[in-house]
């Protein structure tokens, strides 16, 4: 399975992935990462926070960005070099998250692309950032 090659990419190209955050996703993320912060797992504790209820791990939404990059744009064969993230709003159980990656720059000499990354809930950004990705070239 091969994703897009550097030569097939253009500035402005974009891809989305949509996921609804469920209870099982939060529990699985906590189990895999070891992040057992009670704001994610304990309704009574979360009710005492400024959020008033349980929220998803911020890095779960960031993982959706990784999924867009690793499966669609540029897809299989792409290698993450860096990712900045700014968490803007909480994501709650039942929220539909749209993760989007948009190419903003292509460095042909280094075979790298820069992507604007965002996760949206109800059209509002919950995570914003920028990714730098190494992309394979077509074999000559």
pLDDT by residue (tens digit) across 94-135? Answer: 999 999 999 999 999 999 999 999 999 999 999 999 999 999
User: In whole angstroms, what separates CA 13 from the centre of its chain?
Assistant: 17
Span 45-50, mean pLDDT? 97
Give the model's pLDDT for residue 2. 80
CB atoms < 10 A from the CB of 138, how many? 10
Question: Which two structure tokens, joined as six digits, stand for 67?
Answer: 């999924």
Torsion angle of the four alpha carbons 129, 130, 134, 137, in this order, in degrees rounded to the nearest 10 = 110
CB atoms < 10 A from the CB of 62, how many? 18
Span 2-22, mean pLDDT? 96
Span 25-51, mean pLDDT? 97
* Residue 17 in this model has a pLDDT that exceeds 90: yes
Give the model's pLDDT for residue 55. 98
Cross-strand partners of 96: 20
Looking at every residue in the chain, the average pLDDT score rounds to 97
CB 51 within 8 A of CB 87: no
* Residue 139 in this model has a pLDDT that exceeds 90: no
* Residue 1 in this model has a pLDDT that exceeds 80: no
- Mapping DSSP to helix (H, G, I), strand (E, B) and coil, where does residue 68 land? helix
pLDDT tens column, 76-95: 999 999 999 999 999 999 99
């Amino acid at each position: 399975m091969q994703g897009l090659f550097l030569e097939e990419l253009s500035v402005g190209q974009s891809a989305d992935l949509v996921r609804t955050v469920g209870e099982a996703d939060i529990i699985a993320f906590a189990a895999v990462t070891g992040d057992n912060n009670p704001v994610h797992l304990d309704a009574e504790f979360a009710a005492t926070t400024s959020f008033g209820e349980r929220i998803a791990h911020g890095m779960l939404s960031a993982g959706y960005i990784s999924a867009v990059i690793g499966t669609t744009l540029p897809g299989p064969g792409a290698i993450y070099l860096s990712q900045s993230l700014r968490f803007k709003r909480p994501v709650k159980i039942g929220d539909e998250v749209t993760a989007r990656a948009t190419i903003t720059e292509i460095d042909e000499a280094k075979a790298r692309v820069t992507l604007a990354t965002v996760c949206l809930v109800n059209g509002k950004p919950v995570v914003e950032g920028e990714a730098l990705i190494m992309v394979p070239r077509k074999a000559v």
